[in-house]
Amino acid sequence: MQLTLHSLKVSDEQFDQIAQANPEWQFEQTADGELIIVPPTGGTSGRKNLNLAGHSRLG
């Protein structure tokens, strides 16, 4: 799940400040400056991501 804030557009500098102030969250920014907040994975999704990352490094 991710949250896209269509009404909140930020500059590159603002994006960097938000990301640095909130290291526990993953942020993305569209070409139009829209801020996307992607919450950290946990539980089953986190285990699947960890397994996938491990396989990609070993392959």
Tokens of 10: 């930020």
Task: Quote the pLDDT of residue 25.
Answer: 85
Domain assignments of the chain as residue spans, ordered by start: 3-58
List, for residues 2-49, the tens digit of each pLDDT value.
666 666 788 999 999 999 998 888 888 989 888 888 876 666 665 565
Q: What is the dihedral of CA 16, 20, 5, 26, to 10 degrees?
A: 120
pTM of this prediction exceeds 0.85: no
How far CA 9 is from CA of 6, 15, 16, 56, 58, in Å, comes to 7, 9, 13, 34, 39
Q: How confident is the model at residue 59 (pLDDT cuts 50, 70, 90)?
A: very low
Q: How far apart are CA 59 and CA 24, in angstroms?
A: 29
